[in-house]
Structure 1
């Protein structure tokens, strides 16, 4: 292990062009959580390249050459002897002991809730981050976002290879049950679905216990491959399911439903902005802190919006909604309402608005 650590310590870090992310690292200790291919490694390596070469060591814990017991026995002494200030443990696993260094950074899909570490959740690219990968920003950028989604690697993969490439990543990252659940969730994207309903469907195609499915479902949620949205003031009601990235829809399903894809895309923008939101009957997203309702209506016009407002008027009055925002593909406009400001805003303008 000493030889391996010496090799890793002396190895120069290389990084292709680093693109803008909304998160950045400082001289604190971190736990960076995020699904596979969300950009954790690049974020860390970009930070390390700004430090003195002999002040850090980067270790990928998935390296098959690592003997855990021997590694745990010598890592602290190695860091002390080489005066290493920053230790990075990428693809961290809990069997590796935490050592005492000035700055510790661990990267993992799982949040290990280590108290002294600042926790960062890194998601795939949002629309603003995606634009950093585009050669130019014009009307084609949004369509390109629909095609590629938020995984940074998708920009480097040929269009005819993207689906299989993403499938391979998911197969290598998830176990069979988790993958089956995720595939089913792609078909139910932006719809209300319970773990029990998933169990009822999957038990006909594979042998599985209810407990095993529930644990796998919770693991997918904890790691961030799926997200659940609660109903307003009904914590026990069935939750709506959203995917971690819209590219999973075409990679794991042949079903087409642009409206749900569009809604999922809006949800991810809200998720990454840390805004508390809920759904309700006829309401895509209710944001209580800003007293706002957001509707995903990609191809709406004023007439369609007017009918929609009529159908949710009781909710608007009950919760004293001050603003209704209908997110569209390209349509802009507004309409009068006695209680709420009602606007239609194209997705790209809305996503870049704040």
Structure 2
């Protein structure tokens, strides 16, 4: 095992083209968690490359050459012998024993019960996405719709992106989870229960309800799938969303721009940790702000006014102060007797204070 550790210790790390994220490591022991390809490894390597090479050891715990029992017996002594002050365990699993070090950095798909600083590294929001853009010619929003929030997608040739993401997901997920995600890609923004998914999947493969529910819950906990509750009805069927619209492009042939757009709006709210719910005729209700958000890419003033009229009961009873229709490019303010109505282009909304 010392031979392998010495090999890692002598490696020259590379992190070509790293672009700063909203999160950064400092000198605290830290757990960075997030789904596959969210940028955890790049964030860790960027931090390590700011230190003298002899002071850190980086290990990728997915390396099949690593024998956990042998690693647990030798790692602590190896670090002491080489005066290593920073230990980075990428793709960490809790069978590997931790010990006292000046600093330990871990990455994982899930949060872990550890007395460390925690960073939840999510996929790129629109503001971060713009930092990855090489051209500023008005195509950024169109690119965001195509590439989504996976940082690596900017480096993948356009003709390879679908297969690349399929490979990433098939490696990161168990076969049943990949099937769940594929089915979910066809049902985004719809009210979907675990039983609905089971009914869809049982025709494709042999699976028990209990096993499906267990894997589905894991995918929600890890962040591959998201769900939205109905306002004041926590037991009602929840709406289903993907963590990123690029997954729909990669796993489903059906094109439904309205649903993709709604998922995109949801993702921005989710990444900014905005409390929101759905209701009948309402895409997103933000009770703490008294705001309704409608994902309406091609709305016109007349249709929007009629839609708001149908929501007057909800608006009055919940004292909604503003209705925001997020559009592709239309911008307007409508006069309404009981609530302010604004049409705001996605690009301005995502970069403004409304998210």
Residue aligning to 1:200: 199
Q: Displacement of 1:136 after TM fit?
A: 2.6
Q: Displacement of 1:80 after TM fit?
A: 2.3
Which whole-Å CA distance do the structure 1 matches of 2:75 and 2:148 have between them?
Answer: 39
Residue aligning to 2:75: 75
Please tell me whether residue 31 in structure 1 is matched to residue 55 in structure 2.
no
Residue aligning to 2:7: 7
Residue aligning to 1:344: 343
* Matching of residues 203-352 of structure 1 within 5 Å: 203-352=202-351
> 1:213-264 CA distances to partner (integer Å, 9 max, x unpaired)?
0011011111111011111111111111110110111111111110110010
Which whole-Å CA distance do the structure 1 matches of 2:313 and 2:26 have between them?
Answer: 48
Q: Secondary structure at the match of 2:104?
A: strand
Residue aligning to 2:172: 173
Residue aligning to 2:185: 186
Q: Secondary structure at the match of 1:41?
A: helix
Q: Secondary structure at the match of 2:122?
A: coil
Which whole-Å CA distance do the structure 1 matches of 2:167 and 2:25 have between them?
Answer: 30
Structure 2: runs of 5 or more not aligned: none
Q: Displacement of 1:341 after TM fit?
A: 2.0
Q: Displacement of 1:113 after TM fit?
A: 2.4
Residue aligning to 1:133: 132
Q: Displacement of 1:106 after TM fit?
A: 0.9
Which whole-Å CA distance do the structure 2 matches of 1:106 and 1:341 have between them?
Answer: 47
RMSD after superposition: 1.2
* Matching of residues 75-154 of structure 1 within 5 Å: 75-114=75-114, 116-154=115-153
Q: Displacement of 1:20 after TM fit?
A: 2.8
Which whole-Å CA distance do the structure 1 matches of 2:288 and 2:47 have between them?
Answer: 35
Q: Secondary structure at the match of 1:179?
A: helix
Which whole-Å CA distance do the structure 1 matches of 2:315 and 2:126 have between them?
Answer: 29
Which whole-Å CA distance do the structure 1 matches of 2:18 and 2:62 have between them?
Answer: 23
Q: Displacement of 1:10 after TM fit?
A: 2.1
Please report the TM-score for the alignment, with normalisation by the length of structure 2: 0.97
Which deviates more, 292-301 or 131-140?
Answer: 131-140
Q: Displacement of 1:186 after TM fit?
A: 0.4
Which whole-Å CA distance do the structure 1 matches of 2:159 and 2:277 have between them?
Answer: 37
Which deviates more, 234-243 or 330-339?
Answer: 330-339
> 1:184-236 CA distances to partner (integer Å, 9 max, x unpaired)?
10011011101111111211221101110001101111111101111111111
Structure 1: runs of 5 or more not aligned: none
CA contact (8 A) 1:55 1:83 kept: yes
> 1:33-91 CA distances to partner (integer Å, 9 max, x unpaired)?
11111111001111111122222111100011111101001111222232222211101
Which deviates more, 154-163 or 177-186?
Answer: 154-163
CA contact (8 A) 1:75 1:99 kept: no
